[in-house]
Amino acid sequence: MAEAVGFFTDTSVCIGCKACEVACKEWNQLKGNTPAFLADSFDNTGRLDDQNWRHVAFIDKVPEATMTTGNGAAWLMFSDVCKHCKHASCMEVCPTNAIIRTEFDTVFIQQDVCNGCRDCIAACPFGVIGFSEQTGTAHKCTFCYDRLQSGLMPACAKVCPTQAIQFGPLGEMQKKADARLATLQAQGTTQARLYGRDEKVYGGLNAFFLLMDKPEAYGLPNEANAVLPRRNNRSGYFGAVVTAALGALAGLVALRDRGATRRAEDALRRSGPGGRM
């Protein structure tokens, strides 16, 4: 197995240029969706899906009142991507084993195995995966698997002009992130925090983030809500077994013949044909 790779996406230096989105589409030959004007911000991509494997979200933090120069955040820029979770919800439910972990420790959908059941879409807590009508399969960021195999860095990291997207061995990325967080903290930027750097979110994310607000503000589940689909197997099966047992009991009580049929018929015969029960 090759060395585990990581993305360190530092939102504190993202300028929202969307070069990552463009480079991703160029390299991966994604046509993109029909252009739409979302009239919400400078973000007209909207969300990650089968055509958008990087998405720069513009999270509105524009203050209501006029501020003095240098005061008040305007946007939280956030280049979102598949998190390549260590404990991946999509991989957990995939019934065909189309979703695998590669030699680079990334999460990858094998296009020739996927049959388009979309269970992974129901499972991914980040809304990363999209279904393509064109291929009939599920798609998401591949971590530029083909580039990794050739010793190249992923396209988005390659073009990022501000080093908001950094790529390298996972351990190295984590050290960089720790140093960056310490620098920001020292400068008094206390709202800075790392997301997915440790194992608290899905056992750790190979694509982790430095955020400037709480995860929910970015549309990311917090630690309490970062849970795996299989947690519901226990209660689901318990409920079904209890219901099945009660159903069988109901069947035993209602359907068992204790001469009831004959008694009912005798009663009816006495009351005459056509009598009501």
Partner 1 sequence: MAEHFVAAPRWEWYILGYFFLGGLAGGMYALATMLRLWGSPRDEAAARTGFLAAFPLLVLCPILLTIDLGRPVRFWHMLVDTTPGHGGLAFKYWSPMSVGSWALLVYGAFALVSFIEVRALDGRTRAPLARAIAHALAGGAGRAFNVVGALLGLYVASYTGILLSVSNQPIWSDTGALGGLFLASGLGGSAALLAWLARYRPEGEATEWRLAQAERYFAIMELLLIALVFANLAGAGTLARALAKPWGVLWALVVASLVPPLVGMGGPAVQVASGSGSAAVARAAGASRTPMVASVLLGVLLMRFVVIWSAQF
Extract the annotated binding site for [4Fe-4S] cluster: 14, 17, 20, 24, 82, 85, 90, 94, 114, 117, 120, 124, 141, 144, 156, 160
Contact flag: residue 149 with partner 1 (CB under 8 A): no
Among 21, 218, 58, which residue's Cα sits nearest to residue 208?
Answer: 218
For residues 79 and 54, is the Cβ–Cβ distance under 8 A?
A: yes
Alpha helices (runs of H) in the chain, residue ranges in sequence order? 19-28, 89-93, 119-123, 145-149, 155-159, 170-186, 231-255, 260-271
Contact flag: residue 212 with partner 1 (CB under 8 A): no
For residues 148 and 141, is the Cβ–Cβ distance under 8 A?
A: no
Contact flag: residue 164 with partner 1 (CB under 8 A): no
Please list every residue from 88 through 107 that binds partner 1, using CB under 8 A: 89, 92-98, 100
Smaller CB separation from partner 1, 92 or 172: 92
Q: Which residues are annotated as a binding site?
A: 14, 17, 20, 24, 82, 85, 90, 94, 114, 117, 120, 124, 141, 144, 156, 160
Residue 95 C-beta: closest distance to partner 1, Å: 4
Residue selected from 121, 160, 210, 212 as contacting partner 1 according to rule CB under 8 A = 121
Contact flag: residue 1 with partner 1 (CB under 8 A): no
Q: Calculate the CA dihedral of residues 119, 87, 104, 173 and round it to 10 degrees.
A: 130
Residue 56 C-beta: closest distance to partner 1, Å: 17
For residue 57, report the phi and psi dihedrals to the nearest 5 degrees: -85, 140
CA 179 to chain centre: 27
Residue 182 C-beta: closest distance to partner 1, Å: 29
Q: Residue 57 forms beta bridges with which residues?
A: 78
Smaller CB separation from partner 1, 185 or 225: 225
Contact flag: residue 182 with partner 1 (CB under 8 A): no
Pair of tokens at residue 165: 């997207």
- What Cα–Cα distance (Å) separates residue 74 from each residue in 11, 85, 109, 137, 153? 13, 30, 36, 38, 31
Residue 161 C-beta: closest distance to partner 1, Å: 28
Q: Residue 76 forms beta bridges with which residues?
A: 59
Binding segment (CB under 8 A) for partner 1, from list 9-17, 30-38, 153-161, 263-271: 263-271
Contact flag: residue 46 with partner 1 (CB under 8 A): no
Residue 93 C-beta: closest distance to partner 1, Å: 5
Contact flag: residue 186 with partner 1 (CB under 8 A): no
Contact flag: residue 268 with partner 1 (CB under 8 A): yes
For residues 202 and 226, is the Cβ–Cβ distance under 8 A?
A: yes
Residue selected from 3, 163, 178, 237 as contacting partner 1 according to rule CB under 8 A = 237
For residue 207, report the phi and psi dihedrals to the nearest 5 degrees: -110, 95
